[in-house]
Amino acid sequence: MEDGNVEEALLKKQYYYVNCPGCKVDKAKELKTDVSFRNLLNIWMVVLCSALPISSLFPYLYFMIRDFNIAKREEDISAYAGYVGSAFMLGRSLTSIPWGMVADRYGRKPVAIIGIISVIIFNSLFGLSTSFWMAVTSRFFLGSLNGLLGPMKAYCSEIFREEKQALGLSTFSAAWGMGLIIGPALGGYLAQPAVKYPHIFPKDSFWDKFRSYCLPAFPIPVIGKSFRTYKICSHLLGVIHTSFAKLPLHSNAVTVITGLFLMQNRAVEQHQRGEANGIAMTGMSIFKAIGPAGGGAVLAWSQKRMHASFLPAGN
């Protein structure tokens, strides 16, 4: 059988409608059996752009809250830091399901583009924050408008043939893990540049006046812009230190997570995958919002009970 007949036979397996993005994807999967490097690169860049803002603030968040001068006592700084750390996940828990429904109705690409634009705008605003409430508000809107992770999981399972879906979802998990590693490294090395690198960033300069916390926020929007223009960053600022002793544990966790992603996306129909992933993201975000806020509040409470008989801070 000639190639033209093979293509015609494949296309007869199901109906394809005009101006239907999902039909174009299904047709491409029927005709192409190999894996597209461009699709893997798109997944990697979008997920990395979304994962970096989640953890990049934690190395310098304590000092940022201290410089806001909102805490009356030093023991209260951890409580305020927990509220800022939870604002992102609180916003994401409220909007993950609606964004999933939008992705099912209008497609994955519009949701991904809106999410990247929100990272560019609100992560930069967070770095330029001059007050506690500005930091909380920018983080909340960053989480609320950044609803692309759920639809991206659905996208990973849809653009590849069934035997290649594990590769797409494992790319998602790998990019997510790299974002959680690179994010704190960027935050730790680039925060307070006027103090760490006075020969490059002099005192009373732009980088010193804005609390010295805007520099860690700028590389993340740059990565978002590089995806939109398909320009890949070749170098990453800072040196990444990680614990090799925890690598086997993290590897097993990523394997389990990828398997759960695969089962979740195969359990529902294509028109429900965005909403299904949104439900999963909502549940995960709720617990991740409780964690920093609860941990900061407990730490602040324990620091005020240095000599208490129950849960003293010294133990």
Which amino acid is residue 125, in one-letter code?
L
Q: How many domains does the chain have?
A: 1
CATH number for the domain spanning 101: value is 1.20.1250.20
Confidence of residue 19 (pLDDT cuts 50, 70, 90): low
* Residue 30 is assigned to a structural domain of this protein: no
* Residue 95 is assigned to a structural domain of this protein: yes
Q: Does the structure show a pLDDT above 90 at 99?
A: yes
So what's the pLDDT on residue 18?
Answer: 60
Q: What mean pLDDT, rounded, does the chain reach?
A: 76
**196 or 252, higher pLDDT:** 196
So what's the pLDDT on residue 208?
Answer: 67
| CA angle, 244 then 249 then 255, to 5° | 120
198: containing domain:
38-232+242-303
So what's the pLDDT on residue 50?
Answer: 84
Confidence of residue 35 (pLDDT cuts 50, 70, 90): low
* Residue 311 is assigned to a structural domain of this protein: no
So what's the pLDDT on residue 94?
Answer: 93
The tokens describing 93, both together, are 């828990």
Closest CA to 141 of 88, 65, 83, 213: 88
Alpha helices by DSSP H, listed for the chain, are 3-11, 21-31, 37-55, 61-68, 77-106, 108-127, 132-145, 149-158, 165-190, 193-196, 206-209, 219-228, 247-266, 273-303
* Residue 55 is assigned to a structural domain of this protein: yes
* Residue 27 is assigned to a structural domain of this protein: no
pLDDT tens by residue, 274-289: 888 888 889 889 998 9
DSSP state of 244: G
* Residue 9 is assigned to a structural domain of this protein: no
* Residue 99 is assigned to a structural domain of this protein: yes
